[in-house]
Amino acid sequence: NSQLNNSYTFENYIEGDCNRLARSAGYAVANKPGTTSFNPLMVYGGVGLGKTHLVQAIGNHIKSNNPDKFVLYVSSEKFVNQFIESLKTNNVQDFANFYLLVDILIIDDVQFLSGKEKTQEMFFHIFNHLHQSGKQIVMTSDCPPRDLKGLEERLLSRFKWGLTADLQSPDFETRMAIIYKKMQSDGIHIPDNVIEYLAYSVDTNVRELEGVLISLIAQSSLNRKEIDLELAKAALKHIIEDVETEVNLDFIQKTVAEYFQVSLDSLKAKTRKKEIVTARQVAMYFAKEYTSHSLKSIGYHFGGRDHSTVIHSVQTVSDLIDTDKKFKASIQELQKKFKVKAV
């Protein structure tokens, strides 16, 4: 039993700037285990960023191409517990023999070995044996090897023999892609504005993003309500405690640009075309209204304009709201997209 979960694959592991190196190194290892210079492969990164998924995908890929190979996935916690158990029952030799038979050893969260000297000694022994026999070792850790406290130096130096690659927090595009992929595989439809809103709001890690999605889907079916922006905002408030009650400035710019059908860049450019000027002024108005950016900061984010330009824009928009019914209606429509607090 390899302890692999076959729902973790490369096919459903979204590639992005945040994981490109780790993913491609992982893919290389998966295709040529033990024979690339990426041995060991060490993937590190914070919680929920996809370490376990990636290393399991490596294991599953190898397993399906080489059914006869002994691929083993083990968490470091389990490794420690098994080892302690073997000490108690006088079966240390069996424990070691079992691991020496493995062709591909995937060991997750090695930071857990910290301070456990006897276990580290055993792991050192297994590591050396496997590595010398050309067997592939894949590890994950929640921090770079140099920051792994409580691990023996000789072990750390071996971790650096191969390739160390990190996983970063997913960028906006990757978050969008992950939501799309999840919707696709679950056969669920979520409107584009909701997807964007979620991708903007949940920028911590993938696990949290998935949690929000699951909860949103659940609330939608419980309340027999279609998934829309209101529901998403409400769901987010329940899930993430310190949800930003503030709307992101990028989100405002993007939404306003889209609404007025002008490019995002033009909001920050010098151009004084009427429709662009209007869009720009409206975006500044919302930035003032819904973010805590100072006038100076807002100006800065609109192509380095000064704060008096921002004041003028806000004033112009306020005046138009009072005098132009049609304009007022479009502002109200936009407003709906930004009101987080009002839920």
Q: Which residues bind ligand ADP (CB under 6 A)?
A: 12-14, 19, 45, 47-53, 178, 206-207, 210
Q: How far is the CB of 295 from Mg ion (least distance, A)?
A: 44
Decide: is 52 part of the binding site for Mg ion (CB under 5 A).
Answer: yes
Whichever of 148 and 194 has its CB closer to Mg ion, that residue is 148
Tell me, letter by letter, the H, E, C secondary structure of 298-329: HHHHCCCCCHHHHHHHHHHHHHHHHHCHHHHH
With CB under 5 to 8 Å by kind, the binding choice for 138 among Mg ion, ligand ADP, none is: none
The answer to whether residues 267 and 256 touch, using CB atoms and an 8 Å cutoff, is yes
Q: How far is the CB of 77 from Mg ion (least distance, A)?
A: 11
Q: How far is the CB of 140 from ligand ADP (least distance, A)?
A: 7
User: CA 40 to CA 89: how far, in whole Å?
Assistant: 31
Q: How far is the CB of 104 from ligand ADP (least distance, A)?
A: 18
Tell the residue number behind the tokens 């969260």, with chain if given. Answer: 109
With CB under 5 to 8 Å by kind, the binding choice for 200 among Mg ion, ligand ADP, none is: none
C-alpha separations of 14 from 34, 149, 247 in Å: 25, 31, 27
Q: What is the DSSP string of 253-302?
A: HHHHHHHTT--HHHHHSS---HHHHHHHHHHHHHHHHHS---HHHHHHHT
Whichever of 178 and 235 has its CB closer to ligand ADP, that residue is 178
# binding residues, Mg ion (CB under 5 A): 2
With CB under 5 to 8 Å by kind, the binding choice for 26 among ligand ADP, Mg ion, none is: none
Q: How far is the CB of 101 from ligand ADP (least distance, A)?
A: 26
Q: Parallel, antiparallel, or unpaired: how do β-strands 104-108 and 163-166 relate?
A: unpaired
User: CA 208 to CA 296: how far, in whole Å?
Assistant: 33
Whichever of 207 and 339 has its CB closer to ligand ADP, that residue is 207
C-alpha separations of 71 from 36, 45, 75 in Å: 17, 23, 14
Binding mask 9-48 for Mg ion (x = CB under 5 A): ----------------------------------------
Give percent helix, percent strand, percent coil of the chain, each to the nearest 5: 60, 5, 35
Whichever of 104 and 287 has its CB closer to Mg ion, that residue is 104
With CB under 5 to 8 Å by kind, the binding choice for 206 among ligand ADP, Mg ion, none is: ligand ADP
- List residues binding Mg ion (CB under 5 A): 51-52
